[in-house]
């Protein structure tokens, strides 16, 4: 997985003078499952289209296996695409829909015999678990099965890279989860590079070796799902991936950060002394304890049963945090919280500071109650601060 296959260098894409991709640098390795993740309009499809050769970047280079391919047309690239609207041929059966991928590619492959076509089609139908469906009418298939036909059609030419543009977007949630596993399995079976596009962070984390988080035509972070979740580089990534409480803090020294005027132990280091920072605390990393044992105390303003846990909204001096706990905490109760050093993640200030990570809009109807009981004096008095 470490051999480089595709490299985008300083790729910029502008439409009518409007920059939608800004100086993108990205290296994709052979056999990698890489996902471009970001909100609608951030430039994911444009990136995919540049790799596929459907658009040429305004500036910058696209290299494949070390060769510059800016001017190589799509059908001469070892790349195939599966779109969200997979556009199968309704008048052809499953077999013919897949075989079509080979028949149109004849120009570039040497002419394949009927037996070779048959072998490849059957092989691909086996890969996507549709053996026995060859003669079925595609319109009689479920959405998930149709998507698997589209994947087989794209794979039958044996591309080195499969581009997938929101391939699961049209499926309902249950099916989407099944297809996530299915795609992972197909990726392993084929042993080629998959470049997937999605705005669904759960899907990106579940399927990918590497996640590329994008916003505003720029890459925010590249990393493994674990790294993106545990070590987000800025407030945008922290907010986009999972749930995050993000608060202003000050880095006092290596391993000590101040939040709400209290000092907390953390594992982060390498910041300037007294540097203003953004601090991420994940809802599952907060322990609820007695008021007298709390590093901070707050008032519960909302609680929602989620099955595995409760989502509890807690007001700390007017800031609302989301905490996930298996303990029931009634509304209006006072609670204390504890956070272990590894539950605190410190980030540099960025253009996204102050924009995310606040749960005050979680349930507007409880805002008034929270405000009425807002007692900053008492809170300050009864909490012992942690001193390093
Ligand atoms: N052919 C085009 N002409 C003009 N603007 C475009 C074109 N293609 C994409 N854009 C714009 O570029 C931005 C990024 O689009 P896109 O890459 O499709 O985003 P995503 O796939 O992340 O939702 C959007 O603002 C979109 O409107
Ligand atoms: Mg798109």
237 inside domain: no
pLDDT tens digit sequence for 181-202: 999 999 999 999 999 999 999 9
Tally of domains within the chain? 2
Q: Which atom of ligand 1 is nearest to the CA of 15?
A: 4
113 inside domain: yes
Q: What rounded mean pLDDT belongs to the chain?
A: 90
Q: Please name which ligand lies nearest the alpha carbon of 85.
A: 2
Q: Strand, helix or coil at 225?
A: helix
Helix 114-127, helix 94-103: angle, nearest 10: 120
Domain ranges, residue 326: 244-382
Give the pLDDT of residue 302. Answer: 94
Same domain for 220 and 294, yes or no, is no
15 inside domain: yes
Same domain for 297 and 362, yes or no, is yes
387 inside domain: no
255 inside domain: yes
143 inside domain: yes
Domain boundary among 195, 230, 265: 230
Domain boundary among 196, 230, 264: 230
Structural contact between residues 65 and 5, judged by C-beta atoms closer than 8 angstroms: yes
Number of H helices, E strands in the chain: 10, 20
208 inside domain: yes
Is the pLDDT at 235 greater than 60, yes or no? yes
Of 51-55, 73-77, 171-175, 176-180, the poorest mean pLDDT is in 171-175
| C-alpha 211 to ligand 2 mean position (Å) | 16
pLDDT tens digit sequence for 84-115: 777 899 999 999 999 987 887 655 556 788 89
- CATH number of the domain to which 175 belongs: 3.40.50.300
- Nearest CA residue ID for atom 17, ligand 1: 43
* Pocket perturbation via mutation, ligand 1, pick of 8, 18, 22, 46 by most ligand atoms within 8 A of CB: 46
239 inside domain: no
- 261-286: string of b/e by CB count within 10 Å (b at 16+)? ebbbbbebeebeeeeebbbbbbbebb
């Amino acid at each position: 997985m470490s051999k480089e296959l595709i490299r985008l260098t300083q790729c910029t894409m502008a439409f009518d003078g409007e920059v939608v991709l800004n100086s993108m640098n990205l290296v994709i390795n052979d056999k990698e499952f890489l996902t471009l993740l970001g909100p609608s309009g951030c430039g994911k499809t444009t990136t995919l289209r540049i790799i596929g050769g459907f658009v040429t970047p305004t500036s910058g280079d696209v290299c494949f296996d070390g060769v510059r391919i800016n001017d190589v047309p799509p059908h001469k690239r070892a790349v195939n695409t599966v779109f969200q609207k997979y556009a199968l041929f309704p008048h052809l059966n499953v077999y013919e829909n897949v075989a079509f991928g080979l028949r149109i590619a004849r120009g570039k492959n040497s002419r394949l015999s009927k037996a070779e076509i048959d072998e490849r089609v059957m092989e691909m139908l086996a890969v996507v678990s549709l053996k026995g469906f060859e003669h079925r009418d595609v319109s009689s298939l479920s959405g998930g099965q149709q998507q698997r036909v589209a994947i087989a059609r794209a794979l039958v030419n044996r591309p080195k890279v499969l581009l997938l543009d929101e391939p699961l977007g049209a499926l309902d949630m249950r099916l989407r989860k099944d297809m996530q596993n299915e795609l992972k399995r197909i990726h392993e079976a084929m042993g080629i590079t998959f470049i997937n596009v999605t705005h669904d962070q759960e899907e990106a984390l579940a399927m990918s070796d590497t996640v590329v988080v994008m916003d505003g035509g720029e890459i925010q972070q590249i990393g493994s799902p674990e790294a993106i979740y545990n070590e987000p580089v800025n407030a945008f990534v922290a907010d986009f991936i999972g749930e995050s409480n993000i608060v202003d803090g000050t880095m006092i020294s290596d391993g000590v950060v101040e939040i709400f005027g209290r000092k907390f132990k953390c594992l982060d280091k390498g910041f300037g002394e007294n540097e203003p920072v953004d601090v991420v605390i994940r809802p599952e990393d907060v322990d609820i304890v007695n008021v007298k044992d709390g590093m901070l105390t707050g008032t519960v303003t909302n609680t929602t049963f989620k099955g595995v846990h409760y989502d509890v909204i807690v007001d700390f001096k007017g800031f609302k945090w989301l905490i996930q706990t298996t303990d029931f905490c009634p509304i209006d109760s006072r609670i204390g919280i504890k956070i272990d050093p590894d539950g605190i993640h410190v980030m540099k200030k960025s253009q996204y500071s102050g924009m995310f990570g606040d749960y005050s809009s979680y349930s507007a109807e409880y805002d008034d109650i929270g405000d009425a009981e807002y007692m900053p004096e008492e809170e300050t008095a009864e909490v012992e601060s942690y001193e390093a």
